[in-house]
Chains A and B, each alone.
Chain A
């Protein structure tokens, strides 16, 4: 079993808000040995979220990347999947130093296997060349 990232409140019970969709269901998560039970979710994605959040909380990183020779100075970008939450600030340090050349098309890979997470950093919009 992986290390749990956050301490539990008493009785191995923890409350959290599911962030998968705008409903933001308040979840109650109970740890009983290796068993995790989740309640308060309005769909089954909440169960997956709660388990992931306990053992390897992850987030999509959305950001802007500097564009060279483009009609605009920045391109909006995101990681193509959720990366470990504690890598977000380190990820931003890398992104701050990144430069991409125009033209950029939505979906272009700006950096492959970002921070060795297995996820690419991709462009979310087009930027035309100057």
Chain B
């Protein structure tokens, strides 16, 4: 049997993609999920704050995931759980058929043929090993997400006296969660001079529980033989190098690392797909298609999101695109690269592929992040000297993804100019000519 669409990962991205693919006319769809139930990372995010944009309601992670799981059930979309995808083999020719190898203990080894694949595999956490934090290797060192899983799914308290490295949202959320469950969170350390997480989380997770946040500080050594006994912390200079005179010992039995998320793309790497060096995810066009025909990607596996609402939007688009690819074919007429300009860390999509049956009434939505915190700036999309869109922003933070929209007809105006579209951030001073 040849599938229309196989979706790898049944978290919020995969679920939305599947629902959208089905609603846009695809019949043979299947979700492949390695965990024992669909829902993805949201299942362990028991806190509030999801769905404010998409549902105009504040939901917990499981509630948000639950809505999409239920809708997928109502649409009778097949889900195989406890199933691991081992590899993808890309098909050749005009209408490539891709082969997905997956395994579970019920069906054994399966090699599934499909017209489209949607990669919604989420992301993984950066580890202590990746940071090369010196010291011994006692137990009690967790990535924040693993600690969250042990606590919220399995019911274990990871430790009693905790130091958290990294002030991204996962670290902040876990600071609060651990405190509520009776642990002492001694401090959250952040190597930059600003927190990467949402301002609201600084307030509701740290300030509200009197947990200190030390910026420009890192861990230089972890101590302990069988179990963590403490850490040595240090202030860092402007090059993020520890300053020896500031070394200070902090007693603790647990270290949580919230030091970065990396899109999970082990399945795509062997296929020679084009990757974005900044996001570590695949390059995609405005339809969420990768550089391989018929392989799409969405959610955290493309770039790490802050709000699941935007994952949902992006994934609905990916599912619709997969359906259009199978049913209508979108023959590429021309391509325009989308590139990052001044003060922009990355843009997604990285490419615009124009085709004859594009919906010309749809604005092009470009997601981007700033490299640093900026205030009172203008964000400009332009092709050469020609300005295509502009927005004013009171404040831009690297930890808060932004969206700029370009009307489709503006793209049509520049499509033959052989120029990329650049998104850049202009400071107030720059605008004075």
| Contact status of A24 and B152, CB under 8 A, knowing A62-B46, A124-B62 | no
Question: Taking the complex as formed, is A21 at the interface, i.e. its CB lies under 8 A from any CB of chain B?
Answer: yes
Kindly specify which of B47-55, B110-118, B317-325 makes contact with the partner chain: B47-55
State the majority secondary structure of interface residues on B. Answer: helix
The closest CB in chain A to the CB of B67 belongs to A106
Chain A residue numbers with a CB within 8 Å of B180 are 61, 63, 88-89, 92
CB proximity of B193 to chain A, nearest CB, Å: 17
Interface pair A73/B63, CB less than 8 Å apart: no
**Complex: A20 Cα to B201 Cα, angstroms:** 11
Roughly how many angstroms separate A76 CA and B63 CA in the complex, as a whole number? 9
Mark A2-21 against chain B: 1 for CB-CB distance below 8 A, else 0.
00000000000000111111
Cα distance, A24 to B126, chains bound together (Å): 27
Q: Which of A24, A59, A78 has the most CB of B within 10 A?
A: A24
Q: Given contacts A64-B152, A72-B153, A76-B152, is CB(A19)–CB(B46) below 8 Å?
A: no
B312 to chain A, nearest CB (A): 14
Chain A nearest CB, measured from B12 CB (Å): 14
Number of interface residues of A (CB under 8 A): 32
Nearest-neighbor residue (CB-CB) of A93 within chain B: B182
Interface size class of B (residues with CB under 8 A): 20 to 34
Q: Which residue of B lies closest to A61 (CB)?
A: B180
Interface residue? B105 (CB, 8 A): no
Tell which of B52, B62, B155 has the most Cβ of chain A within 10 Å: B62
A24 with B63, Cβ < 8 A, contacts A59-B208, A73-B154, A74-B152 known: no
Q: How far is the CA of A84 from the CA of B60 in the complex (A)?
A: 19
> Are B203 and A62 interface neighbours, CB within 8 A?
no
Inter-subunit contact A62/B60 (CB<8 Å): yes
What residues of B have a CB within 8 angstroms of the CB of A72 in the complex? Answer: 153
**B59 CB to nearest chain A CB (Å):** 8
Q: Mark A92-128, 1 if CB is under 8 A from B, else 0.
A: 1000100000000010000000000000000011100
Measured CB to CB, the residues of A under 8 A from B are 16-24, 26, 59-64, 66, 72-74, 76-78, 85, 88-89, 92, 96, 106, 124-126
Known: A73-B155, A125-B66. 5 other contacts (CB 8 A): A21-B200, A24-B201, A24-B203, A77-B46, A125-B62
Instruction: Please list 14 pairs of residues, one from A and one from B, whose beta carbons are closer than 8 Å in the complex, sorted by A's number.
Output: A19-B204, A20-B200, A22-B307, A24-B201, A60-B58, A64-B151, A72-B153, A76-B46, A76-B61, A78-B46, A106-B66, A124-B46, A124-B60, A124-B63
